A and B are shown apart, each in its own frame.
Chain A
Amino acid sequence: MTPNALCFGSQFPVTGSPCHVEITPSGMRVRLESQPSEPDDGLIPFSNLSVSSGGLHHDQLVVQWSADSDRRTLFLKDPEIIRSFRETAPKDLTGELEEAASKVRKIRRRRRMAWIAAGSLVAALALFMWFGSNVLVDLAVSRIPIEWEKKLGEAAYRDFLAQQTVVKEGQAVAAVSEMTRRLTERISDDPYEFQVTVVRSDVVNAFALPGGYVVVFTGLMKKAENGEEVAGVLSHELNHVLQRHGLERIVKQLGLVAALSIVLGDQQGLIGLTKQVGVELLTLRFGREQETEADVTGVQLLHRANIDSHGMIRFFERLSEQQKEPIEILSTHPMSAARAARLKAEVAALPKQTLEPFTFDWKAVQDSLAGS
């Protein structure tokens, strides 16, 4: 017979004696483990008992009675026995207990409601931070080390370049290198080592991967009327990296739970998560706010580098006006009148700059691309 209750009394150990309790129609039968055969078979009539609730969480049934000039106390925890006691014992015995139990239940319910309310408040706050603002995303992104970002971007960069015709040398590469050098020299506390690759393709576009990996297509260089226009696009792309826009998109795509887990310290899982969710870095679309931010900081960077920032605006405007066939850069960077106006205002607000022209001859650069 496995014991199912603890019996306390002055002759028993202070942590109670294990005993076996059985509820019968006439009373409660208690068999102590240490004394297997009690003279009266251990049956205590209900009329001799008093009950209450006890224990740390008031979830134990405490039964007391007098025996051998001693007060015995029984702690019952087994829900089956508690149920059968409440069903079998006369109402006058259990009435008080039911009253106490309903009081405990009420307190518990109130406490549970309080926890639910607190929990929903936290959840609502998290959801608000998620959809209503970027606080959580920014917080998560700020916890991701640059090294991880580089690893992430580098892998996608290698994969992409392996399938493309890379322009390795020549005037186009030299020109892009000069623009990159002029711009990156003016970035203070730059944690990235930007790598800019020219890729042969008629696509009129450029893109930046997290970690500082940038691709400029020859199609963009052919369409541009001067070096300043390409430098403008490049400055915009560099600022997507510097503002960590790619990571923000990834974190947003991974979802609230992932963002929370990054904030709470688990950056380890990020790369695994990225693979799991199948985020395609190359197809990442930036949001409108991110585009505006890259525009504004891009113009500021051009200004610091003494490169004419009107080139960037003119390039976007011209492309959107004379758009016959869909041009890729416009699908990822739709040029609206509002966007151009904002950029112009931004440029106007900056102090007058002393322009430093590029050393290359733009026509010659374009001619070097024409043959192939």
Chain B
Amino acid sequence: MKSEVLYPGAFPMVRVELEAGENIKAESGAMVASSPTIDIESKMEGGFLGALSRKLLTGEKFFFQTLKAARGPGEVLLAPTVPGEIVIMELDGLNEYMVQKDGFLAGADTVKIESQMQSLSRGLLGGEGFFILKISGKGPLILNSFGAIHKIELRPDQEYIVDNSHLVAWSATTSYHIERAASGWVASFTSGEGFVCRFHGPGVVYIQSRNPGGFGNWIRQFIPVSE
């Protein structure tokens, strides 16, 4: 599998070349176009119950799609729903990443995707929901963001504070705590950005330059209310 980002910027697409017999997993709905040699199967990653719990508890799409070069080599064009950047990472088999559920676009067949339940406080306060994806294995992993993707590099014991709605993915060697951004609980609940994550290195944290929730609020004021 070879992949390349086309039209880098706000509206990119990724082209993935598959050899005969090769598979990739993609977020369902991500496929834009493909060679006629590619077959699409909807596969429930993590078994039926896993998929069901993901659907029920995260509101996430039930299936990942498996795109298979069943009848000879071919290429697939993939794109995310929201405007924003695409990054291709190469997993080395040792580094694992936690990915916020909208951040996953596609991954090689050798990449393992698990839903992981967050601890109660992180799920409630973290803003990424109770479930996040834990991605391990070896091979290319394709992430997408809302806005541009920015990579924060943390040396051992180095810390960084990130607004949780801007999180895309982070390496499992980091640890983090949820903290209040403003002092006083009332301020935390009333100001839009109530909670932040304090990350502790080593590892990398990928953040997005726009906040999907904030954008939703901003755009809502222009939608006429019909009675």
Q: Which A residues have a C-beta under 8 Å from some C-beta of B?
A: 3-6, 8-10, 14-16, 18, 54-58, 60, 64, 71, 73, 75, 77, 111, 114, 264
Least distance between A235 CB and chain B CB atoms (Å): 42
Is A54 in contact with B173, judged by CB distance below 8 angstroms? Answer: yes
Task: Using A3-B93, A16-B203 as known contacts, list a sample of 10 further A-B pairs with CB atoms less than 8 Å apart, ordered by residue number in A.
Answer: A6-B94, A14-B202, A15-B92, A15-B204, A16-B202, A18-B92, A54-B173, A56-B174, A77-B94, A111-B119
Is B119 in contact with A71, judged by CB distance below 8 angstroms? Answer: no
- Please measure, in the bound complex, the distance between the C-alpha atom of A114 and the C-alpha atom of B121, giving whole angstroms: 13
Give the top 3 A-B pairs by smallest Cβ distance, nearest first: A14-B153, A73-B156, A8-B202
- Please measure, in the bound complex, the distance between the C-alpha atom of A73 and the C-alpha atom of B56, giving whole angstroms: 40
Is A56 in contact with B175, judged by CB distance below 8 angstroms? Answer: yes
Of A4, A8, A10, A60, which is in contact with the most chain B CB atoms at under 10 Å from its CB?
A8
Least distance between B170 CB and chain A CB atoms (Å): 8
Q: In the complex, what residues of B have CB within 8 A of residue A54's CB? A: 173, 175
Among B98, B173, B204, which residue has its beta carbon within 8 angstroms of that of A75? B173
- Please measure, in the bound complex, the distance between the C-alpha atom of A18 and the C-alpha atom of B170, giving whole angstroms: 18
6 A/B residue pairs, CB under 8 Å, sorted by A: A6-B95, A16-B202, A55-B175, A56-B98, A56-B174, A71-B156
Least distance between A66 CB and chain B CB atoms (Å): 12
Is B176 in contact with A18, judged by CB distance below 8 angstroms? Answer: no
Least distance between B95 CB and chain A CB atoms (Å): 5
Q: In the complex, what residues of B have CB within 8 A of residue A264's CB? A: 56
B88 interfacial contact with A, CB 8 Å:
no
Of A4, A6, A111, which is in contact with the most chain B CB atoms at under 10 Å from its CB?
A6
Least distance between A119 CB and chain B CB atoms (Å): 12
Q: In the complex, what residues of B have CB within 8 A of residue A8's CB? A: 155-156, 173, 202
Is B175 in contact with A58, judged by CB distance below 8 angstroms? Answer: yes
Chain B interface residue count, CB cutoff 8 Å, equals 22
Q: In the complex, what residues of B have CB within 8 A of residue A77's CB? A: 94
B40 interfacial contact with A, CB 8 Å:
no
Q: In the complex, what residues of A have CB within 8 A of residue B170's CB? A: 56
Is B171 in contact with A15, judged by CB distance below 8 angstroms? Answer: yes
Q: In the complex, what residues of B have CB within 8 A of residue A56's CB? A: 98, 170, 172-176
**Chain B residues numbered 155-205 whose CB sits less than 8 Å from any CB in chain A:** 155-156, 170-176, 202-204
**Chain B residues numbered 31-63 whose CB sits less than 8 Å from any CB in chain A:** 56
Closest chain B residue, CB of each to CB of A60: B173
- Please measure, in the bound complex, the distance between the C-alpha atom of A10 and the C-alpha atom of B94, giving whole angstroms: 19
B154 interfacial contact with A, CB 8 Å:
yes
- Please measure, in the bound complex, the distance between the C-alpha atom of A5 and the C-alpha atom of B170, giving whole angstroms: 18
- Please measure, in the bound complex, the distance between the C-alpha atom of A10 and the C-alpha atom of B158, giving whole angstroms: 12
Q: In the complex, what residues of B have CB within 8 A of residue A75's CB? A: 173, 202
Least distance between A64 CB and chain B CB atoms (Å): 8
Is B155 in contact with A10, judged by CB distance below 8 angstroms? Answer: yes
Is A15 in contact with B175, judged by CB distance below 8 angstroms? Answer: no
Q: In the complex, what residues of A have CB within 8 A of residue B56's CB? A: 264
Closest chain A residue, CB of each to CB of B122: A56
- Please measure, in the bound complex, the distance between the C-alpha atom of A255 and the C-alpha atom of B46, giving whole angstroms: 25
Least distance between A15 CB and chain B CB atoms (Å): 5
Contact with A along B74-98 (1 / 0, CB 8 A): 0000000000000000001111001
Q: In the complex, what residues of A have CB within 8 A of residue B176's CB? A: 56
Is A73 in contact with B94, judged by CB distance below 8 angstroms? Answer: no
Q: In the complex, what residues of B have CB within 8 A of residue A3's CB? A: 92-94
Of A56, A58, A114, which is in contact with the most chain B CB atoms at under 10 Å from its CB?
A56
Known contacts A3-B94, A6-B94, A56-B98: A14-B154 contact under CB 8 Å: yes
Least distance between A109 CB and chain B CB atoms (Å): 14
Closest chain A residue, CB of each to CB of B199: A56
Closest chain B residue, CB of each to CB of A33: B92
Is A15 in contact with B203, judged by CB distance below 8 angstroms? Answer: yes
Least distance between B34 CB and chain A CB atoms (Å): 28
Q: In the complex, what residues of A have CB within 8 A of residue B92's CB? A: 3, 15, 18
**Chain B residues numbered 95-115 whose CB sits less than 8 Å from any CB in chain A:** 95, 98
Closest chain A residue, CB of each to CB of B96: A77
Is A14 in contact with B155, judged by CB distance below 8 angstroms? Answer: yes
Q: In the complex, what residues of B have CB within 8 A of residue A64's CB? A: 156
- Please measure, in the bound complex, the distance between the C-alpha atom of A60 and the C-alpha atom of B202, giving whole angstroms: 12
- Please measure, in the bound complex, the distance between the C-alpha atom of A260 and the C-alpha atom of B176, giving whole angstroms: 37
Among B93, B119, B153, B173, which residue has its beta carbon within 8 angstroms of that of A55? B173
Q: In the complex, what residues of B have CB within 8 A of residue A58's CB? A: 175
Least distance between A32 CB and chain B CB atoms (Å): 13
Among B93, B119, B202, B204, which residue has its beta carbon within 8 angstroms of that of A73? B202
Is B173 in contact with A14, judged by CB distance below 8 angstroms? Answer: no
Closest chain A residue, CB of each to CB of B95: A15
- Please measure, in the bound complex, the distance between the C-alpha atom of A10 and the C-alpha atom of B56, giving whole angstroms: 44
